[in-house]
C-alpha cells in the first residue's frame, strides 16, 4: 500500500511525531534530523494522507468556492483570482458550481463538502432574503457579491450602487437621455439586477430625468445570447433609445451584436455600457465601456477574511465594499 508516516519514521530512524513535525514546518527541529527525514521522504516517495490529517486536526487546507457557472467570464476570472489568493495562504480551492439555482445554492451551503473544506467563499445568485437563516453555517464563510443579506456574515461586496451611478452619469454626460436597461429581473426585489437598476433610476433622478417607459428589458441568465435576444426584442418594439446600460458585460456584448446586426451604429446611434470589465470588454468591436468591480481585490480580501475567520481571529463580522473603476471605451466614446 501507500507509504505512511510510520514508514518514513522507520527509514529515518525517528518517531512518526518527528516526521509530522517536519511535514508541518514545526520550527524546533535539529537541522540534522530534518535532513534525515527529508531524505527518507524523498527516498520513499512519501505523500501525506490529507484525509488522515483532516480527520484528526479538523482542517483540510481546502476552501470551497461556490459560483453560478464558470462559463460566465466574470466568475471564471474571479475563480482564477481566488485560486491565486488562496495559494498565497497555502490553501487549495475546490470550486462548486450552482447554476444560480436556489436549490443547488442551498445544497452547497448545507453540506460544505462533508467537512472536506475548511471554509467557503460563497457567491449566491438565486437566494433571497427569506433564506437568510440558512447563512448561519457552522463552516466559516465569506459572502461574495451583493448586500442582499443583513445577517451576521462576512461580506465582500461589489460597489454596485456607485459603480452603476458612475457609468450612468457618464452616459448622461455624453448627452444620452433615453437609456435602455437590459437584464432586469422585475420579480426580484433584491439581488444584483434590482440594485443596479435602482441605482440607474436614482441617477436619472439626480439629473431630473424621468425613467423612460418600456426601455427596461429582462435578460434571462445574463449570457451573450440573452443580451442579443433582449436587444432584438427592444428593437422590435420600435421604441427610441440612444443608449443601453446592460446589467453585465456578457449581456452588453450580446446586445452589441444584435445592434450591429440591425445596422445600428455604436456609439453614434446608440451608446452601450456594461458592468464587470471582463477581459473580452477590451477587445470587442467596439471596445466596451464598463465598470471594473476589481475582482482581484475582491478575491484577495475575501480569502484574507476567510483565513482570519477560520483561525478564529475575527470577533465581529465585516462588510467590505471593493473599490470600482469606470473604464470608458469606444462603445460610448466612439473610436478616437
Binding site residues, a second copy, CB under 8 A: 2, 47-52, 54-55, 60, 62, 69-71, 73, 76-77, 79-80, 83, 92-97, 111, 113-116, 138, 223-225, 228, 253-254, 256-257, 260, 279-280, 282-285, 287
CB of 63 to DNA, least distance (A): 18
Query: Which residue has cell 475575501?
Result: 302
CB of 105 to a second copy, least distance (A): 15
- Copy the grid coordinates of residue 176: 444620452
Task: Give dist(CA 292, CA 302) in Å, integer.
Answer: 17
Task: Give dist(CA 271, CA 134) in Å, integer.
Answer: 42
Task: Give dist(CA 197, CA 245) in Å, integer.
Answer: 9
Please choose which of a second copy, DNA, none residue 16 contacts, taking the beta carbon within 5 to 8 angstroms, the exact cut-off set by kind: DNA
What is the secondary structure of 73-84 as a DSSP string? HHHHHHHHHHHH
Please choose which of DNA, a second copy, none residue 321 contacts, taking the beta carbon within 5 to 8 angstroms, the exact cut-off set by kind: none
- Going by the DSSP 8-state scheme, the letter that residue 147 receives in this structure is -
Q: Is 19 exposed, middle or buried (0-12, 13-18, 19+ CB in 10 A)?
A: buried
For a second copy, give the closer residue by CB, 135 or 211. Answer: 135
Number of Cβ atoms within 10 Å of the Cβ of 290 = 29
Site for DNA in 102-131 (CB under 7 A): none
- The reply on whether position 60 binds DNA by CB under 7 A is no
Please choose which of a second copy, DNA, none residue 256 contacts, taking the beta carbon within 5 to 8 angstroms, the exact cut-off set by kind: a second copy
- The reply on whether position 33 binds DNA by CB under 7 A is yes
Please choose which of DNA, a second copy, none residue 15 contacts, taking the beta carbon within 5 to 8 angstroms, the exact cut-off set by kind: DNA
CB of 32 to a second copy, least distance (A): 26
150 vs 147, 154, 236, 301, CA distance in Å?
7, 10, 40, 19
Please choose which of DNA, a second copy, none residue 239 contacts, taking the beta carbon within 5 to 8 angstroms, the exact cut-off set by kind: none
For a second copy, give the closer residue by CB, 18 or 60. Answer: 60
Amino acid at each position: 500500500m501507500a507509504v505512511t508516516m510510520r514508514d518514513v519514521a522507520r527509514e529515518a530512524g525517528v518517531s512518526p511525531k518527528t516526521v509530522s513535525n517536519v511535514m508541518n514546518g514545526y520550527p524546533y527541529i535539529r537541522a540534522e534530523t530534518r535532513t534525515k527525514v527529508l531524505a527518507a521522504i524523498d527516498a520513499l516517495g512519501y505523500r501525506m494522507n490529507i484525509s488522515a490529517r483532516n480527520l484528526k486536526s479538523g482542517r483540510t487546507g481546502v476552501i470551497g468556492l461556490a459560483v453560478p457557472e464558470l462559463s460566465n467570464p466574470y466568475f471564471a476570472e474571479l475563480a482564477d483570482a481566488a485560486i491565486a489568493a488562496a495559494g498565497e495562504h497555502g490553501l487549495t480551492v475546490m470550486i462548486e458550481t450552482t447554476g444560480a439555482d436556489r436549490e443547488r445554492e442551498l445544497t452547497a451551503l448545507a453540506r460544505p463538502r462533508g467537512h472536506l473544506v475548511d471554509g467557503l467563499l460563497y457567491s449566491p445568485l438565486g437566494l433571497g432574503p427569506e433564506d437568510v437563516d440558512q447563512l448561519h453555517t457552522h463552516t466559516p464563510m465569506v459572502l461574495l457579491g451583493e448586500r442582499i443579506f443583513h445577517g451576521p456574515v462576512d461580506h465582500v461586496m461589489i460597489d454596485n450602487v456607485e459603480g452603476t451611478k458612475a457609468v450612468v452619469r457618464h452616459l448622461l454626460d455624453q448627452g444620452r437621455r433615453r437609456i435602455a436597461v437590459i437584464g432586469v429581473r422585475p420579480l426580484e426585489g433584491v439581488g444584483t439586477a434590482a440594485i443596479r437598476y435602482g441605482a440607474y433610476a436614482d441617477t436619472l433622478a439626480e439629473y431630473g430625468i424621468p425613467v423612460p417607459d418600456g426601455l427596461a428589458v429582462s435578460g434571462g441568465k445574463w449570457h451573450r445570447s440573452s443580451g442579443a435576444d433582449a436587444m432584438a426584442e427592444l428593437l422590435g418594439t420600435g421604441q427610441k433609445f440612444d443608449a443601453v446600460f446592460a446589467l453585465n458585460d456578457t449581456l452588453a456584448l450580446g446586445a452589441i451584436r444584435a445592434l450591429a446586426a440591425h445596422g445600428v451604429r455604436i456609439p453614434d446611434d446608440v451608446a452601450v455600457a456594461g458592468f464587470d470589465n471582463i477581459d473580452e470588454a477590451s477587445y470587442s468591436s467596439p471596445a466596451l465601456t464598463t465598470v471594473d468591480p476589481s475582482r482581484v481585490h475582491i478575491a484577495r480580501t475575501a480569502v484574507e477574511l476567510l483565513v482570519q475567520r477560520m483561525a478564529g481571529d475575527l470577533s465581529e463580522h465585516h462588510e467590505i465594499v471593493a473599490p470600482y473603476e469606470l473604464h470608458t471605451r469606444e462603445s460610448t466614446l466612439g473610436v478616437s
